[in-house]
Structure 1
Amino acid sequence: MQIKRVRHVRRTAITTLSLTACLLSCSAGADDTSGGVGTRDTSRSSSVTATADDAVRETATGPDPAASPGPELVRDAFAGLQATLNDTCTPASGDCAYFLGRVHEEVMGLDAAMKADPKGPDHFPEPIAWIAGLRTTLDGDTSTENLETHRTELIGVRDRINVWMQDHPDDYQ
């Protein structure tokens, strides 16, 4: 899980730096008042770089833990889970590792969002209980082999959460 976080941080940092480079190249000469080629306002580029550095730092350390999430976090987490609904895999094949890992990650992300939601975890009692049961079943082992062994439980929790959320549209619209 830690390796995935590091990869995610690296990808986000690279994307942020790439976007910053594009922004700088697009804005080069935009404030050019002298008519010279290639001149630009260096104070603006340094502030853009500082902003990009701040974004990379925040990405590397994660969001401010004191910040309370908005209701859109449950909505976004549920959308990620729904994106797995039409996918499937064949046990013991290469496609199961990614698929089951993604379903597990989306379920756990939704659990965290529900627990952090301003309405409180008591607003989502059934999904949180189902996810707790899944955690017990998996016993902390998120290896492909264990996820494949408990594939039915994992997919079942995903599907029950989907049905529950469909009956509570105010939580995801």
Structure 2
Amino acid sequence: MPSTTASRRALPVLLAGILLTGCSAGHDTASADPSPSASASTPASASAPASASAPTRRAVTQPEVRDAFAVLQATYQDGPTYKAGCPDPADCEYFLTRVHDNLDALDAAMKADPKGKGHFTAPLAWMDALRGALGQDTSFPNLDKHQKLLLGTRDRINKWMQSHPEDYR
């Protein structure tokens, strides 16, 4: 069933793309001005560099913390229970890989956030500890070996984020 596994691995990427598309719609500052001169202006990419007072926009490819966190939270509703063992190895591989990938995306979003790394000190430290335990090996056997730490990291970050609603609302 390689096509099923590939489809399951592609799902988080597809969901993140949909979330990013939905979140970026209607946030263009140039289109906020209804005056005729605003519609005749050149696109932001073709204009001169923005002034110091103009808002800066991040690249569309970088998810915001709230979007990355929402994708990670979805893993609470999807995934096998490990208390009784793993009933289907393919499901377990998909789930653990998904949690790992979602944590990586959240890590990148937190590091790129305008609030800076200092705001996310604890979650970034927990993800660094996980990365240190996994090393460069993100294979399913290694993720399965460290699944308690992987899921524990997700849970600690979820608890931390719940006490910082300004970061995900």
TM-score using structure 1 length: 0.59
Gaps of 5+ in 1: 13-66
**Aligned residues of 2:71 and 2:102 also touching (Cα < 8 A):** yes
Higher relative contact order (CA 8 A, sep 6+): 2
**Stretch moving more, 161-170 or 71-80:** 71-80
Query: Cα deviations across residues 72-127 of structure 1 (Å, max 9, x unaligned)?
Result: 71000000000001333243722111000000000010000000000001000100
Alignment counterpart, residue 125 of structure 1, candidates 104, 121, 126: 121
**Gaps in structure 2 of 5+ consecutive residues:** 1-5, 15-56
**Residue equivalent to 1:57:** none
**Match for residue 79 of structure 2?**
88
The structure with the largest helix share of the pair is 1
Percentage identity across paired residues of the two chains = 53
CA contact (8 A) 1:69 1:117 kept: no
State the one-letter code of the partner of 2:58.
S
Shift of 1:149: 0.4
TM-score (norm 2): 0.60
Partner in structure 1 of residue 26 of structure 2 = none
Cα pair distance change 1:97/1:86, threshold 3 Å: same
Residue 68 (1) aligns with residue 58 (2): yes
Match of residue 99, structure 2, among 88, 103, 107: 103
- Give the whole-Å Cα distance in 1 for the aligned partners of 2:164 and 2:72: 15
Change in Cα spacing, 1:136 to 1:84, as seen in structure 2 (3 Å) is same
Question: Which residue identity does 2:74 align to in structure 1?
Answer: A
Secondary structure in 1 matching 2:77: coil
Q: Of 140, 148, 155, which residue of structure 2 is paired with 1:152?
A: 148
The 3-state SS of whatever aligns with 1:87 is coil
Asked whether the 8 Å contact 1:69–1:118 carries over to 2, the reply is no
Shift of 1:69: 5.5
Q: CA deviation at 1:140?
A: 1.2
Question: Contact 1:72 / 1:172 at 8 angstroms: preserved in 2?
Answer: no
Tell me which structure has the larger Cα radius of gyration: 1
Cα RMSD (Å): 2.8
The count of aligned residue pairs is 113
Tell me the equivalent position of 2:165: 169
Asked if the contact 2:96–2:147 (Cα under 8 Å) also holds between the matched residues in 1, the reply is yes
CA distance in 2, matches of 1:112, 1:147: 20
Superimposed CA distance per residue, residues 130-161 of structure 1 (whole angstroms, 9 cap, x where no aligned partner): 00000000011110000000000000000000
Paired residues of 2:63 and 2:105 also in contact (CA < 8 A): no
Once residues 140 and 161 of structure 1 are traced to their aligned partners in structure 2, the CA distance between those partners, rounded to angstroms, is 22
The reply to whether residue 141 of structure 1 matches residue 137 of structure 2 is yes
